[in-house]
Structure 1
Amino acid sequence: MKKLAFAALAAMFVLAACAPGSSGSRPVNRQAGDVKKDVAAMGQVTLTIWDQEVRGGQEKQITTLNEQFQRRYPNVRLNRVPRSFDDLRSTLKLGLTGNDAPDVVQVNNGKQDMGAFVKAGLLLPLNGFARAYGWERRFPEPVWRLATYPDTGDVLGEGNLYGVPQTGELVGIYYNKTILAKLGLQPPKTWGEFDATLAKAKAAGVLPIQLGNLDKSAAPHLFTLGMHRFGGPDEQLGLATGRPGASWKTEANRMAAQQLLDWVGRSYLTPGFAGLKGDDSAAKFTKGEGLFHVDGTWLMPDLRSSMHDSVGFLLPPPQSNGEVSVTGGTGIPWAIGAKTKNPDAAAAYLDFITSAEAMKVQAENGGLPVFDVAGQPATGLQREVFDGWLKASSSNAMIPYLDYATNDAYEVVTGGVEQLMSGQLTLNGFLDKLQADLDASHGGR
C-alpha cells in the first residue's frame, strides 16, 4: 500500500492546485491565491446544504453550528435539507446533476459514492481551499487519505482532496459494566480473555453478544473483528481500499470467517438476529440484554444517555505481536458540488464547521471530534472513545470500512456475511464471492 507522508500530501496539494483539469469539462482545481475568504464581502448568498446529521447529537451539533455561522455572516442564508443516510445516498447523484444542485453535500467516502462522483466531475476539488484555510494542518494523514481520489475515481487514498470531515468514527466493542462485574470479570485485554469472557457469559445464562442484522450492516462488523484478530494491518488496508493484488483467500481471513461461524454455532449471538433491526438490537443492549455489542462510535450519545456509567468501550485486543487494528475512519465528509455558484462561501462554511470551535460543539453534544480530541473535557464512555480515536488515528491501526473497496462492495460484503452465517455459503464460497468482486473491479484480473 502506497502511503503518503504528511509533507508529501502537502506537496501534492501544491501540484494539484497548479495543474489544469484533465479535460475542459472537469471542475477547476483552484489555486490557493484565488480563494476569497472575506464572507461579508460576498453579498447576499444562499447555500443549499444536504446532510444526514439526523440523530440526536448530530442534529444538535449541526443546528448549533448553523445558527452560529448565520449570526457571524448574516448575509449568508443556509437552506438545510436533512435526510437519512439511505435517502441521501439514493438521491445525491440526481441532486448533483440537477438544475438546482446543492452547494454543500455530505458524500460517503466509498468508490460507489465519492469515487463515482469524482469520476463524473460532480464534486469540486478542495486542494486550493485546503491550502488557503490551512486544513492540511488540522487532520492527521490517515484521516486525509479517506477523502482523496484521482480523476478516475478508482483509487481511494490518492489524488485530489474532495471532502473534509467533522467527526471520527471507530467500530469497537461496547460492554455492559454492570453485567461484567456480576460475572466477576474485568474488561478483556487480550483475545484469550475475550474468548473466556464469552464462554463464561454463556455458561451463566447471559447473552454474550447483542446483534441485530435484519438490515445486514451489523454482522460484517463481527467479521472484521476477526480480521483484526488474525490479519495484519497492511493486508487489511489493501482489502478495504480495493488495491490490486489484495487477496481474500488467506489463512487470516479464513480464520476470521471461522470465528464468526463458531460464535453462531455456540449461540453467542442474539437468537433470531437475522430478523432483528440494528437499532432495535442497540436498544436491547441499553436495557441489559447482552454483555457486548460491536458497533460504531456514532451510538455513543444514545448509549451514554440510556446507560450512563454502566457502559464502556474497548478497541479490539492486540494480536500476539502487539499489533492493533480497528475499523474506522471519518464521519461522512462534507463536499462542495461542482455546480455551485458560490464556491468561496461554501468553502467558508466547511471551514467553520470543521474549526477548533466546532470540535468543542461536537464534544459537547456527545460526538467524536475528528481532531483536537485530547483537549476536550470528557469522562467515562466519551473519554474511552476519545482515547481510542487518538490511538487509532495517529497510526496505521485504522482500517477503512470494507464497503469502500469496490463499486459493489457494500452489497457483496453484507450479503455474503449474511449467507455465510445462515449456511447458504460455505466458508470458501464466502471468500470466493468477495474475491470475485475484487477481481471484477480490476477488470477480472
Structure 2
Amino acid sequence: MKRLLKTMAIAIALTTIATGCSKSSGGNEANGGKTVVTMYSTVTNEADKITMQNVVEKFEKENPDIDIKENYPADGYEGMLRVKMAANDMPDLFDTHGWAIHRYGEYVEDLKDMNWVQDLDPALNQILMDDTGKVYAYPLNQAKDGLTYNATLLEEYGIEPPRTFAEFMTALETIKKKGKGEVTPLWFAGSDKSAFGQYFDQFSTPLLITGEKNFKKELLDGTFDWSNYTFLAEKLKEMQDKKLLNEDVLTAQNHQMVDLMAQSKIAFIVGGGMLGPSVEELNPDVKLGITPMPVIKEGDEPSWIGGERHTLAVWKDSKVKEEAKKFLEFISQPEIVKEIAEGTSLPAGLTNTESKNYYSDYYEKYKDIKVEPYFDRIYLPSGMWDPMGATGQELLSGTMKPEDVSKKMAEEYKRLLEQKK
C-alpha cells in the first residue's frame, strides 16, 4: 500500500511539473511577492467555511506579505493527505481531524513553546499532547458529542433527557406511542454507514471505557474479547424490531435531517451537535437540546464524547514554518478564538475567552461532565471505522446477527493490529 501511495504521489508530482505550478501548491512559492502558506481543512459546513475565510482575510490584511491558500477537499481529504504523507509533501498547515498523535504525529511540528498552549483546554490534553509535553496541533474548536434531541417535543411529551441507557429506551418507546407514527424516536441517515459508526463509537465509551469495570487495557494490548461489544448490536436490532428507528433507516440521507428535525418529525439523533442553527433557521419554534451519553453500567457517570473537531498542525518540514506559526498566533487571540467558536457553533479549544453558541446553556449545565475521546481514535487500530459502520448496515439489513457483528469486528481488529507490526 505504501509503495502504491508513493507511486501515486510521484504521478501527481510529475503532472504538476508538466502542467505548470498552481498557486495553491508549494508552501513557499512566490505569489506576487508574497509568501504562500498552504492550508488544508476538513471543514465542510458552509457556515464554518465562511468563518474560516473571514479569519484568513483578517490575517492577510494585517500581514499583506503572507498569502494563506485554503483548501477544503471534503470527502477527498483523507485520501489526499495519505498521498502527501507517502510523498512527505504535506501542506504547511493541515487539519488532524482527531488523529493528531496516532496518524499524523511524525509529520507535525512541536508547538509546545507557543504562547497559546497555556490556554489549551485541559479536556484536549490527551488528544493533542503526549507524555513528553509535545503539542501536536492548534484546536480551532472542540467536539462535545452526546445525544441531540428535539427539546420542544420532549417537553411536550413530558420526557426528561435520559441519563441511563434504560431511560433512553423508555424515552424512545414513549415517543413512539405519543407520536402516533408521526415522529421517529431515533433517526439515522443510514445510507451513509458512518451514521452507524457514530452509534457504535459513541456508545462504546459508556459500555467499555468508563467506570471501574472497563476494558481499556485489553483494547490497547490486543486481548479484548469482542463478545463484550455485542450488547450494542443487540440494542440497535431491538430498536429496529420495536420500530423505534426510521423505516427508511438504510436509505435515508444526511441532507434530510435538518428539514425533518425542523418539522418535529425526529426526536433523537446520535451526535448531530451542529444541527441547531440550521434547524432554527428553518423553524425558530423548534428548539434542540444536547445531553451527554447515557450510562450503561450501574454506578457509572455520563460523559461527553469528543476532543478535537477542527485543528491546524504545522508540517515539521515546511519551508514557511514561521509564517504558519504566525497565523496560529493570530487566531489564538481571544477575539478570534471567540469568532471561530461562535461561527462554527462549537466550544472553543482555548480557555482565554467566553463564547456563546446555540448549545451554550447545555454545555454550561453539563460543564462538570468529563469529555472522553472518541473510542476508535484511542482504542482501535486505524481502519476500524469502516467495518464499525458497515456492520451496522448489515445488521439492520438482516445479513448479520448481533453476534456476527462482534465476530466481524474481532476479525478486523486482529487483522489491522497485525498490519501495524
Q: 2:148 aligns with which of 171, 174, 187?
A: 174
Q: 2:410 aligns with which of 435, 438, 443?
A: 435
Describe the shift of the 1:247–1:355 C-alpha distance in structure 2 as closer, same or farther (beyond 3 A).
farther
Task: Name 1:130's counterpart in structure 2.
Answer: 112
Deviation per CA, 1:301-322: give whole Å up to 9, x if none. 3234334452111112345314
Are 1:53 and 2:27 counterparts?
no
Instruction: Give the conservation status (yes or no) of the 8 Å contact 1:49–1:105.
Output: yes
How far off is 1:56 after superposition?
2.8
Task: Name 1:293's counterpart in structure 2.
Answer: 269
Counterparts of 1:281 and 1:287, CA distance in 2: 10
Task: Name 1:209's counterpart in structure 2.
Answer: 186
Note the residue ranges of structure 2 that are not aligned, 5 or more in a row: 1-32
Counterparts of 2:408 and 2:232, CA distance in 1: 15
AA in 2 matched with 1:90: G
How far off is 1:391 after superposition?
3.5
Task: Name 1:14's counterpart in structure 2.
Answer: none
How far off is 1:230 after superposition?
3.6
Instruction: Give the conservation status (yes or no) of the 8 Å contact 1:213–1:277.
Output: yes
AA in 1 matched with 2:413: L
How far off is 1:342 after superposition?
0.7
Task: Name 1:26's counterpart in structure 2.
Answer: none
AA in 1 matched with 2:48: Q
Task: Name 1:143's counterpart in structure 2.
Answer: 124
TM-score (norm 1): 0.75
Task: Name 1:198's counterpart in structure 2.
Answer: 172
Counterparts of 1:386 and 1:436, CA distance in 2: 41
Percent of residue pairs identical: 17
Deviation per CA, 1:57-82: give whole Å up to 9, x if none. 31132122112211222221112222
AA in 2 matched with 1:102: P
Counterparts of 2:223 and 2:328, CA distance in 1: 35
Q: 2:382 aligns with which of 407, 423, 427?
A: 407
AA in 2 matched with 1:348: K
Counterparts of 2:205 and 2:87, CA distance in 1: 42
Instruction: Give the conservation status (yes or no) of the 8 Å contact 2:121–2:351.
Output: no
Task: Name 1:332's counterpart in structure 2.
Answer: 310
Task: Name 1:267's counterpart in structure 2.
Answer: 243
AA in 2 matched with 1:291: A
Describe the shift of the 1:163–1:258 C-alpha distance in structure 2 as closer, same or farther (beyond 3 A).
same
Task: Name 2:326's counterpart in structure 1.
Answer: 348
Counterparts of 1:427 and 1:292, CA distance in 2: 23
Counterparts of 2:127 and 2:362, CA distance in 1: 24
Note the residue ranges of structure 1 that are not aligned, 5 or more in a row: 1-42, 150-156
Instruction: Give the conservation status (yes or no) of the 8 Å contact 2:276–2:287.
Output: no
Counterparts of 1:106 and 1:377, CA distance in 2: 22
Task: Name 1:310's counterpart in structure 2.
Answer: 287
Instruction: Give the conservation status (yes or no) of the 8 Å contact 1:166–1:333.
Output: yes
Report the number of matched residues.
381
SS in 2 for 1:293: strand
Counterparts of 1:130 and 1:61, CA distance in 2: 26
AA in 1 matched with 2:233: A
Are 1:64 and 2:23 counterparts?
no
TM-score (norm 2): 0.79
Are 1:105 and 2:79 counterparts?
no
Counterparts of 2:203 and 2:89, CA distance in 1: 45
How far off is 1:332 after superposition?
3.2
Deviation per CA, 1:310-343: give whole Å up to 9, x if none. 2111112345314223321211331222442111
Instruction: Give the conservation status (yes or no) of the 8 Å contact 1:242–1:438.
Output: no
Task: Name 1:243's counterpart in structure 2.
Answer: 220
SS in 2 for 1:47: strand
Describe the shift of the 1:438–1:199 C-alpha distance in structure 2 as closer, same or farther (beyond 3 A).
same
CA RMSD of aligned residues (A): 3.2
